[in-house]
Structure 1
Amino acid sequence: MLIFTAFTIGAVSISPAVALNVLAAHVGLPELGYSATSIERNILLNVRLPRVLLGVMAGGIMALTGVMMQAFFRNPLADPALIGVATGGALGAVTMIVLGSTLVGGFSQSMLGIMLPAAAFVGSLLASMVIFTLARQQGLVNVTTMLLCGIAVNAVAGAGIGVLSFMADDAQLRDITFWSLGSLGAASWGHVQAVMPAAAILVIALGFLAMPLNALLLGDAEASHLGFSVERLKVIVLLLTCFGAGAVVATCGVIGFIGLIAPHASRLLVGPDHRFVLPLSAIIGAILLIGADIIARTAVSPAELPIGVLTALIGGPVFLWLLRQANGSGQHANH
């Protein structure tokens, strides 16, 4: 229902009956008799449909990468954005925006659609490699060190984005603002096609990752005793997280906290078993992002709020509450 609502509201309101008729005709079903103007048809099929599809996939991807990061670090407060993976991806994308023609040589706008996700993926991968290397002590990941490394990587990446912003022209500055604040406003079928491989790979991985992630929560030694290759699993999780976060950042910019809230909500509903947490988190992440996008489009209509601002306003207090809950649990355990 929420997803269908996203088709009908916005700067131009379209009745649900007309929207349903256009969508039915688009997929080859019989039309329902409600005519749509050419403008309404164009808005629905070329603006809102790719925007909703991108939002569903991006929200699901961010939720799944959040689940994997939390299992990876065995910490419910871990998130690709909080530990610098998303910001590293943003730095990669901004580098391509400002310096792409210099680094790669003159390339067309169509090539930019290919190079941008690739640059974001490389940025996410480099950021995660730095964090993983520095946080690993005697073969174990130190959670406190990991979070501190994430803060440092976020700071360095933010400084890099600032330097590139100083070097950018007006058109590039508008693009950089988009990456920094996050938005689905520029969604197109090209963006949908760019994110679809990451979404498909993560969905396929659901069936293979649930049990290994459950084992990983028990600890590296226990997971190894159960027959899982811990180091290989961590590399796979790291690559999937970078691939997903890089694709989302490249198309939507930096949208934080979905990967933190959705997994936590899932665990409250179905418990810690990743066989249920993974699919439910993807659904909740998609719903959260579509809901935030609806608010972003309508709160200050006809203008739009950056969706990353909304998710931060919601996710920041939730993160503080989770941190308080974690501290409370730790104190209770000590007593």
Structure 2
Amino acid sequence: MTATLSRSGPAASSRGRTASLLVAGLIGLLVSILAATALGSEGISLVNVRDILTNHLHLTDITVFPYKEVIVWEDRMPRSVVAAAVGGGLAVCGVILQSLLRNPLADPFLLGISSGASTGAVIVGILGLGSAAIGLSGGAFIGALVAFGAVLFLAKVAGGSTDRVILAGVAMTQLFSALTSFVIFAFADSDETRGVMFWLLGSLEGVRWDDARLTAVVAVIGLAGCWAAAHALDAFTFGDEVAASLGIPVARVRAAMLVLTALLTAALVSVAGAVGFVGLVLPHAARFLVGPGHGRLVPVSALLGAIFLVWVDALSRVAFHPTPLPLGVGTALIGVPAFIAIMFSRRSRA
């Protein structure tokens, strides 16, 4: 009995710590969204934000100035929700790819998805192909899927190993980046170039509740699918042979998770543009907090990514008013020093 209690004690303590961390993360995310919604050139109090939110949830009927309601509900709130969904989704994709490919530098854009999305966006935005039917986001989504399909085909032809997937991703990233640059150089005027480049660097300008609902649903579905595969992802950490010995159908699980992360990344990038470093840095920060077990790592990474991108967007919007700093620039400026700090922290702990 004593031995059983001694074994269950640490496990129960770990579960309790994880549950506490998840609750704290959810509260932190809610507070972050409300605080980010209050920030801007037109300062709005948190009380007003609360009243507007509860009014739209049909919990209260409090009188608020109409212009404040428009700013909060139609502009800042959906923007913060999209930032949270994109940040959380990209962070989860980073966790999955780093596990499947056994590469700590893997991120959602390693498979050429971001470059393909950029090519699709510039083809629609500059050449005008399909602009009336699918729009910029639709073009980006299709471009991302085409790039991912090319990566899978090339990797399969080359042998299908993990290393071949990475090499195929690098090759397709370079190819589609070159195609994007060629279209901009050859066909875009200065105004089109400025507009497209702003989107390519990541932007949440003009997002509305339709975008917020889409990204939130996609991020939740992606998170649920990845969290359900936590046991298999733990096995992948030790290699394919160990995973197979534990009864994991290696090829099928890897293919399913690669497709899931590709679809999730493509959907998020099509709305927000190319937002880098979230999928690379935040999984490492989550491992620093909760360790390598994917049952804890996946949800904590999602929460950290969501909170991180909400604040990056809010600060870039406030500090660089009236033209917000592109999201990709903000995440790099903050993410690179944070990544370096994590590297040194892990080295000192080792």
**1:210: which partner in 2?**
230
**1:38: which partner in 2?**
66
Among residues 333, 347, 350, which one is paired with 1:313 in the alignment? 333
**2:247: which partner in 1?**
227
Change (3 A) 1:203 1:265: same
**1: CA distance, partners of 2:100 / 2:117:** 19
Shift of 1:174: 4.3
**1: CA distance, partners of 2:149 / 2:207:** 26
Change (3 A) 1:154 1:206: closer
1:87-236 equivalence runs, <5 A: 87-101=115-129, 104=130, 107-108=132-133, 111-112=134-135, 115-116=138-139, 118-126=141-149, 128-129=151-152, 132-133=155-156, 140-142=161-163, 150-166=169-185, 167-169=187-189, 172-236=192-256
Shift of 1:129: 2.3
**2:28: which partner in 1?**
none
Instruction: State the TM-score, normalizing by the size of structure 2.
Output: 0.81
Q: Is the 8 A contact 2:235 2:246 kept in 1?
A: yes
**2:293: which partner in 1?**
273
Q: Is the 8 A contact 2:203 2:272 kept in 1?
A: yes
1:281-292 equivalence runs, <5 A: 281-292=301-312
**2: CA distance, partners of 1:124 / 1:27:** 41
Superposed CA deviations along residues 214-246 of structure 1, whole A, max 9, x for unmatched, are 111111111111111111111111111111111
Change (3 A) 1:314 1:133: farther
Runs of 5+ in structure 2 lacking a partner? 1-30
Superposed CA deviations along residues 39-81 of structure 1, whole A, max 9, x for unmatched, are 1111111111110110111011100110111011112211123
Superposed CA deviations along residues 106-153 of structure 1, whole A, max 9, x for unmatched, are 735xx427733531432442364267448x65x5323xx766655443
Among residues 52, 55, 60, which one is paired with 2:83 in the alignment? 55
Q: Is the 8 A contact 1:88 1:157 kept in 2?
A: yes
Change (3 A) 1:122 1:83: closer
RMSD (CA atoms): 2.8
Change (3 A) 1:173 1:193: farther
**2: CA distance, partners of 1:149 / 1:325:** 33
**2: CA distance, partners of 1:30 / 1:3:** 20
**1: CA distance, partners of 2:56 / 2:219:** 23
Change (3 A) 1:128 1:263: farther
Instruction: State the TM-score, normalizing by the size of structure 1.
Output: 0.84
Moved over 6 A (4+): 321-326
Q: Identity across aligned pairs (percent)?
A: 33
**2: CA distance, partners of 1:318 / 1:150:** 26
Q: Is the 8 A contact 2:312 2:330 kept in 1?
A: yes
